[in-house]
Amino acid sequence: MGGWDWGFVSQIMPTLLRGLLVTFEATLLGSVLAFALGLVLALLRRAGIPVVSRLVWLFIEFVRSTPLLVQLYFLFFVLPDFGIRLSSLTAGVIGLGVHYACYTAEVYRAGIEGVPRAQWEAATALSLPRHRTWTRVILPQAVPRVLPALGNYVISMFKETPLLLAIGVIDLVGAAKEAGAGAYRYVEPYTLAGLLFLLLSYPAAVLVRRLERRVGH
C-alpha cells in the first residue's frame, strides 16, 4: 500500500466534488443563519432588559465554551426524543448557524460599540431621528468594521463543516472517507480533501486580510 495512484484520483474526484457541493451548501446556509441569529442575539443584549441580556450572555458563553461536535450530536440525538426529526444536513446547518451566531453576535456588538460615543451625541445635537441616526451615522461606520470579522467566521465555518460527517452528512470529507474505506486507500482522498480546503480557504483568507487592512483594523 501507499504511493500515489492517479487512476484512483480520477476515479474518486467526482465523488469528492459532489461532497464539496454539500460542504458549500452547509457553509452558505449556516452563514445566513449565523449572520441573522447573531444580529438578533446582539440586539437582544442591547435591548436594555436586564434579564434578557443576562440570559443571552449566558447562552452565548455556554455555546462558545462547548464543542460544536457535541452540539451537533445534541441536535441529532436529543431533538427526536421530543418528536422533532431533522435531516442530517438540517441539523448540521442549525448546529453551525447557532454556534457561529454566538461569535457573530460579539462581532456586531464590537462593531456598534466601536463607533465613538461622540457620534451618537453629534447626531442627537443635530436632532436626527433615531432611525436616521442608525441608517445614516452608526451603521455606515459599523458595517465596514464588521465585514472582515464576519468573513473570517465564514472561512472557519467552511473548515468546520466536516464535523457534520459525524451525524451522517456526506460532505467533502465524508465523501473522502467513504471513497477511502471502499478501496482501503486513504492517502489520495484525504490529501485531496486537504488540498481542496487549502485551495479555497487560503485565497479567501488573503482577501479578508486585504479587506481588514483597507478598513484599517
Instruction: Give the interface with another protein as residue ranges (CB under 8 A).
Output: 1-2, 62, 64-71, 73-74, 77-78, 81, 103, 106-107, 149, 152-153, 155-156, 159-163, 165-166, 173, 176-177, 180, 185-187, 190-191, 193-194, 197-198, 201-202, 205
* Angstrom distance (rounded) from CA 94 to CA 9: 33
Residue with cell 447626531: 123
What DSSP element (H or E) covers 198?
helix 187-215
Residue 111 CB, nearest approach to another protein (Å)? 11
Residue 55 CB, nearest approach to another protein (Å)? 16
Residue 126 CB, nearest approach to another protein (Å)? 31
* Angstrom distance (rounded) from CA 108 to CA 120: 17
Residue 88 CB, nearest approach to another protein (Å)? 15
Axis-axis angle for helices 6-46, 139-160 (nearest 10): 140
- The C-alpha cell at 211 is 479587506
Cβ proximity to another protein: between 63 and 123 the closer is 63
Residue 177 CB, nearest approach to another protein (Å)? 7
Cβ proximity to another protein: between 62 and 116 the closer is 62
Cβ proximity to another protein: between 113 and 129 the closer is 113
Cβ proximity to another protein: between 76 and 93 the closer is 76
Axis-axis angle for helices 6-46, 50-65 (nearest 10): 160
Residue 52: partners with Cβ closer than 8 Å, 6 or more residues away: 44, 45
Q: Tell me how far apart the 2 most distant CA atoms of the chain are, in Å.
A: 75
Cβ proximity to another protein: between 15 and 133 the closer is 15
